[in-house]
Copies of this chain bind each other. A is one copy, B any other.
Amino acid sequence: MTTAAESRPVEDLVVGVLGGTGPQGRGLAVRLAAVGQRVLLGSRDADRAREVAEEVAGRAATVSGGEVSVQGGSNLDVSGAADLVIVAVPYAGHAATLAELAAPLAGKVVVDCVVPMGFDELGAYVLDVEEGSVTQQAAALLPDSDVVGAFHHLSARLLEDLSQPTIDGDVMVVGDVRAATDTVQALAGRLPGMRGIYAGRLRNARQVEALTINLVSVNRRYKAHAGIRVTDV
């Protein structure tokens, strides 16, 4: 299978963001919109998605040199209409959300950025995922999509802060389909200052997701919004 997203220039793709009203989804949406990517922002609540889409479009327009396009809708409608879909829902709703979207997401590149993170009195820790990782859970639920893991290590705070034109960090991209990881690397590379770096197969997604939890510890210790750079690449 070659999906539509894999055979077209990445700047022409309509990017859907499921859970686009949350901090990570909204941050990715505003940064992608600011570089001219057409964005469809999805939520369980379509009205809420439309409200946030309008707000995101307004903010993206303040820094964009060109046209900005952000529209809101239900996760279902966005899944059907987008060429490539980023999953940014809370982990608690991840499996249930995707289970209902297998048909509209078939034949598409689906990029999962969800982190299986719990908190207790000692801080953040990794939740066990039966499939091994959240990305592998998505792949199991979406057998007809090309599932890729990426965008875990980007601080939502930095994504949302458009006063900083660039973000210092790389996007580790994991997946089993080369055309899909290539597409997602190209999409990541559109974010100013960032690169998409291929970082292995789906079976090695768990530690990429979970490293986000270590970055939470870094943030607490150093009062930072930490990300990752891959050296020597």
Contact = CB atoms under 8 A, between A and B. Distances in A.
Interface of A: 122-126, 155, 158, 168-169, 172, 174, 197-201, 203-204, 206-211, 213-218, 221-222, 224-233
Given A199-B214, A211-B208, A231 B226 contact: yes
B228 A233 contact: no
A225 B230 CA distance: 10
Given A203-B125, A217-B204, A228 B230 contact: yes
Contacts of A229: 228-231
A64 to B, nearest CB: 24
A128 to B, nearest CB: 10
Contacts of A208: 207, 211, 214
Contacts of A168: 231-232
Nearest to A125: B203
A112 to B, nearest CB: 16
B211 A207 contact: yes
Contact of A204 (B126, B201, B222, B230): B126
